Structures are given as C-alpha cells and as structure tokens.
C-alpha cells in the first residue's frame, strides 16, 4: 500500500476564497493570474484568479470577453463601484481592465 499516494488525496489543500466583484477594494488594481471560461449557475461565465481570491465576472460581459480570455493573464482588473441601472433597485458593477506595468 502506497501511504503517500493515499494521504495526498486525503489532505485538503488551502483554497482561495471566492469573492464577488463588488468585494474588491475600490479603485485598486488587482493582478489577474489566470482567467478561464467556466459553466456557472446561470450559464457560461468568466472566472478570474487573483492573488488572494477568485472572482466571477458579471454574465453581461461574458460574450465580449470570452474570445480574449486567454489574453487576460498579466492584466489587472479595477473595480470602480456600482452604478444605477434603469432604476434605483438595479445596480451593475463598474470595472475595467488595465495592462500591467
């Protein structure tokens, strides 16, 4: 019996926490380590792995970003807050991507 192999499967490795885009620090660029397309609860989504967390981007941007998802590594994402959309009850995350220096 290979005890090392069994224990490697049994041990839980620390995972990054999943945060919403709105939980990122306001106006602070966060480096994107990896980006990938995943199947989420409501369909396809873009997942960003940041230094300390994982963030799912809003579904409204998936179509525009999906063809470029592999190129996002090394860029930074900046959350600028939420903006009212149609009325006071609907708000959307305002964010952008920046090239790394």
Residue-wise pLDDT for 4-21, tens only, equals 888 888 877 778 899 989
Which whole number is the average pLDDT over 33-51?
A: 91
Centroid of chain to Cα 97? 12
pLDDT at 89: 65
Which whole number is the average pLDDT over 56-71?
A: 92
pLDDT at 23: 92
The residue ranking higher by pLDDT, 3 or 67, is 67
How large is the greatest C-alpha to C-alpha distance in the chain, in angstroms? 64
Q: Which positions ≥6 away from 26 have C-beta within 8 Å?
A: 79, 80, 81
Taking alpha carbons only, the member of 96, 94, 98, 68 closest to residue 82 is 94
Quickly count: other Cβ atoms within 10 Å of residue 72's Cβ: 19
Phi-psi region of 6 (alpha: psi -120 to 50; beta: other; left: phi over 0): alpha
> Which pTM does this prediction carry?
0.78
pLDDT at 88: 63
pLDDT band (50, 70, 90) for residue 29? very high
């Amino acid at each position: 019996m290979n005890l090392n192999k069994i224990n490697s499967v049994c041990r839980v490795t620390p995972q990054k926490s999943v945060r919403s885009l709105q939980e990122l620090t306001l106006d602070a660029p966060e480096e994107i380590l990896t980006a990938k397309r995943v199947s989420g609860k409501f369909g396809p989504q873009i997942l960003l792995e940041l230094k300390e967390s994982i963030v799912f981007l809003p579904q409204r941007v998936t179509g525009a970003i999906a063809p470029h998802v592999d190129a996002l590594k090394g860029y930074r994402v900046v959350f600028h807050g939420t903006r009212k959309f149609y009325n006071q009850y609907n708000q959307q995350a305002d964010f952008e991507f920046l090239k790394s220096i």
